Amino acid sequence: MSSASAVSGLDSRQLLTQGKRWVIKIGSALVTNDGQGLDSERLDGWIDQLALLRQQGIDVVVVSSGAIVEGMRRLGWKQRPSALFELQAAAAVGQSGVSEIYERGFQRHGLHAAQILLTHDDLSDRQRYLNARSTLKTLLDLNVVPVVNENDTVVTEEIRFGDNDSLAGMIANLIEADVLLILTDQSGLCTADPRTHDDAKLISEIAVDDVSLDSMVKPGAGTLGRGGMVTKLRGARLAARSGAMTVIASGREADVISRVFGGEVLGTLLLPTDEPVAARKRWLAGHLQLKGKLVLDAGAVKVLRECGSSLLAVGVVAVEGNFVRGDAVECVDGSGQQVALGLINYRADEASQIIGVSSDKIAQVLGYVDEAELIHRGNLVLV
């Protein structure tokens, strides 16, 4: 199989040990007890491994499901309902169980958990995207482990198994993660369905955009088209937009999180084609619909172009347009030449008040501070 890296498979795995920010998705089959609610004993085992990563200085965000099954157990339902409103009700009841187990488990290690419920709409809306990003990064700074799940209580489309794979990929992009680890009840991606093909082989390493994967994800074409592997590949490709590596591995393996973190060859490693910065910049550039303009002084233009820094309010001389937090704006020099595009952290009226103001004086002008920068360098594309 082709690889996105010129290094050997072993070296590629060792790159995982250098990742400082991990998103770890734990599948429903791994956290539930044969449909009888959450498996607290097994979850405690996951939490022990997650806490070990956190104690080694690794930022950890967990994407975990199981709320519907836990809600069914608490409500005494033996059969999974088909009506959407009943699924939503079960999720609402079960979410407290998910939160309780993670909080109790992490407290054993002197850590706290925080439950974050999101929908795909939250991450497509620019303002909510930035709000979610700020919340998650603040929690990580506070040494809290965020536990993210799709907000099944309010989704308007049918709840589908596997949606959390795509959500995990979006979260990896949101927080600029280095690694996405998707834990499942299968060994990884195979060349064919091992249940029906004796010659099926596990794919150890492959570029995430390798065209051979597309043929394997067709319905009925093998293991990638069954058991949720289609959504796992989709999640990996979403994560690759910001340069994250993805490992799809079996959660049945003992100490799998610690072993993957240690560079052991387990499951399938999906490598991004581009470096993290280049991948994220292209992703941003492809999603920008400009809502306003910032005119920069010569000093700010020089810093952006030569240092790759964030844009601070002190370097802005004028604001045009009617935009809100999270909207895309263009940055131009004094002659109107476009310098950069980016997602802004303040509304137009707020930005107008703080132009020319140093970051430590923003609170004095506005009465609060959302961000120290008008546009963070991670949300800025030079043109």
Q: What is the pLDDT of residues 222-249, one digit of tens each?
A: 444 434 678 888 889 888 888 899 999 9
Please report, in tens digits, the pLDDT of each residue of the chain (383 residues total). Answer: 334 443 334 478 888 888 899 999 998 788 887 767 888 888 999 999 999 999 999 999 999 888 888 999 999 998 888 888 898 899 899 999 999 999 999 999 999 999 999 876 777 676 788 788 889 999 999 999 999 988 877 765 544 434 688 889 989 988 989 999 999 888 888 887 776 778 888 899 999 988 888 777 554 444 444 346 788 888 898 888 888 999 999 998 999 999 999 999 999 999 998 766 665 666 666 556 788 999 999 999 999 989 888 999 999 999 999 999 988 899 999 999 999 988 899 999 999 999 999 999 999 999 998 889 999 988 888 87
Rounded Cα distance, 180 and 270, in Å: 10
Rounded Cα distance, 350 and 367, in Å: 11
Helix (H, G, I), strand (E, B) or coil at 62: strand
pLDDT at 284: 66
Structure tokens at 255: 């100490």
| CATH number for region 288-382 | 2.30.130.10
pLDDT at 158: 41
Q: What is the pLDDT of residues 325-362, one digit of tens each?
A: 988 899 999 999 999 988 899 999 999 999 999 999 99
Task: Note the helical H segments in 149-228.
Answer: 163-174, 211-216
Please report where in the chains the tokens 């964030």 appear, as a residue. 310
Structure tokens at 241: 């937009």
Using a 10 angstrom Cβ sphere, with 0-12 exposed, 13-18 middle and 19 or more buried, the burial of residue 188 is buried
Prediction pTM value: 0.76
Length of the chain: 383
**H or E element at residue 257:** helix 256-261
Cβ atoms within 10 Å of 6's Cβ, excluding its own: 7
The dihedrals phi and psi of 380, each to the nearest 5 degrees, come to -125, 135
Q: What is the pLDDT of residues 23-33, one digit of tens each?
A: 999 987 888 87
Helix (H, G, I), strand (E, B) or coil at 311: strand
Task: Break the chain into its structural domains and give their ranges.
Answer: 9-279, 288-382
Bridge-based pairing of strands 59-64 and 21-26 is: parallel
What's the fold here for domain 9-279? Carbamate kinase (3.40.1160)
